[in-house]
Structure 1
Amino acid sequence: MDGTLVDSEPYWIAAETELIASYGGTWTHEDAMQLIGLGLFDSAAIIQARGVDMTPEEIVDHLTAQVVHRLRTDGVPFRPGARELLFSLREAGVKTALVTMSMHRMARTVVDLIDFPAFDLIVGGDDVERPKPFPDPYLHAAQTLGVDIRACVALEDSPNGLRSAIASGAVALGVENLLPLEGLGAAAVWRTLAGSDAEALAALFREHRAPQQETTR
């Protein structure tokens, strides 16, 4: 979600910076970059170690509330082409799941602000025991949707998210935003989703999965 579907990473960075500053600490751009794609409680432990006298649960709740407030007041800042791609997938009848390390309630807030039924399923960071980069979130999504994970395409903007997608067995597509994704093993890395549609994802799937399926028959 964050960084792939919506450009909410600046909201997270602002919330982290303000929280750490309230305890007399500093939070640099480089510090913020290390949290992108990381599980929320792993991120909370790092923030706690910077002098924030709160429990990990309190840190997660605080940051989530701050970002949700920004989304509700400022609107959902979709990444270029993301909403259009989702709409194309719905038109084509493709099942979709939002697999995010954000809390389920935050993901629900974002989905509810989309002006069409964009997703069949939401898997939040609090819906699985092991977060990205473990494959569990994607495996859980595929199982709940009733589909083979190898019949899925997973879109990710962070190295940790991409590792999770690759480990799950899905065709993994990197969509670069704040961090480079080359050399991690993705089926492809796109600079943007602008101009993409359901057929573009289908072509990617055919290119990287159909030959393998033929070989195993």
Structure 2
Amino acid sequence: MDGTLIDSEKLWDVALTELAETYGGTLSDAARKAIIGTSMADSMRIFHEDLGQPHRDPAVSAAWIDARILELFGTGLRWRPGALALLRAVRAAGIPTALVTSSVRPLVEVALETLGRDSFDAVVCGDEVDAAKPHPEPYLTAARMLGVPIERCVAIEDSATGVASALAAGAAVLAVPAEVPLPATEGVHQLESLTAADLELLAALLGERTAGL
């Protein structure tokens, strides 16, 4: 969701920067990049360690971030280039679709006002799985909810954490970096933007994936 479908990472920048200032510190660029795509628990661990304040209660910080992000999400969300067109094409073709995100359900509910509640047959949130990305559970859960073998799924991701989760689950993977460049990874097709993606490409990626099974 964040960074793949909607341009929301900049809103996370605002919230994290504000919380760091509240704690009398400054979040480093390296830590901010490391946070992208991680669960809230991992994000707060990285955040506190970077500020030199590991004693901070992660639950308190997470609650502050959640509340601030809810406010920021309410100001409006912008689609990433090509994301809306591709999602519409997938839905028009009748392809089962799931949203798999590390964000928690309350934030996702706000984002769905922009994304469209009928855009997905299943939604898997970060607070609804026992193990978050990069663990494969989120994508395996989505495939199970769709009633589709994971080998017949294409995952579209913008972060290294998400790519690792999808690969570990066994899906074909299309990577479209947003805020942080991604290294070339065997078995992962990478594009600069979803404006270059269409149904034919997704089918080709799936064909390549299943051909090797």
Is this a same-fold pair by TM over 0.5? Answer: yes
- Residue 100 and residue 78 in structure 1: after superposition, are their counterparts in 2 closer, same or farther (change >3 A)? same
| Bigger helix share | 2
Cα deviation, residue 54, structure 1: 4.9
| 3-state SS, counterpart of residue 113 of structure 1 | helix
| 3-state SS, counterpart of residue 184 of structure 2 | coil
- The alignment yields a C-alpha RMSD, in angstroms, of 1.7
- Which residue of structure 2 lines up, in the alignment, with residue 177 of structure 1? 178
Conservation of the 8 A alpha-carbon contact between 1:166 and 1:185: no
Cα deviation, residue 179, structure 1: 1.8
Cα deviation, residue 55, structure 1: 2.5
- Residue 151 and residue 179 in structure 1: after superposition, are their counterparts in 2 closer, same or farther (change >3 A)? same
The one-letter code sitting in structure 2 at the alignment partner of 1:108 is E
- Which residue of structure 2 lines up, in the alignment, with residue 27 of structure 1? 27
- Which residue of structure 2 lines up, in the alignment, with residue 36 of structure 1? 36
Cα deviation, residue 61, structure 1: 2.3
Q: Which runs of 5+ in 1 are unaligned?
A: none
| 3-state SS, counterpart of residue 2 of structure 2 | coil
- Which residue of structure 1 lines up, in the alignment, with residue 12 of structure 2? 12
- 1:191 and 2:192 correspond: yes
The one-letter code sitting in structure 1 at the alignment partner of 2:192 is R
1:39-86 Cα offsets, whole Å, 9 max, x none, are 11111122233238752222222212222211211x111100001111
Q: Which runs of 5+ in 2 are unaligned?
A: none
- 1:66 and 2:68 correspond: yes
Distance 2:117 2:58 in 1: 34
Matching of residues 62-211 of structure 1 within 5 Å: 62-73=64-75, 75-115=76-116, 117-206=118-207, 208-211=208-211
Distance 1:98 1:114 in 2: 10
Distance 2:182 2:128 in 1: 26
TM-score scaled to structure 2, two decimals?
0.92
Distance 2:105 2:175 in 1: 23
TM-score scaled to structure 1, two decimals?
0.90
Distance 1:129 1:59 in 2: 21
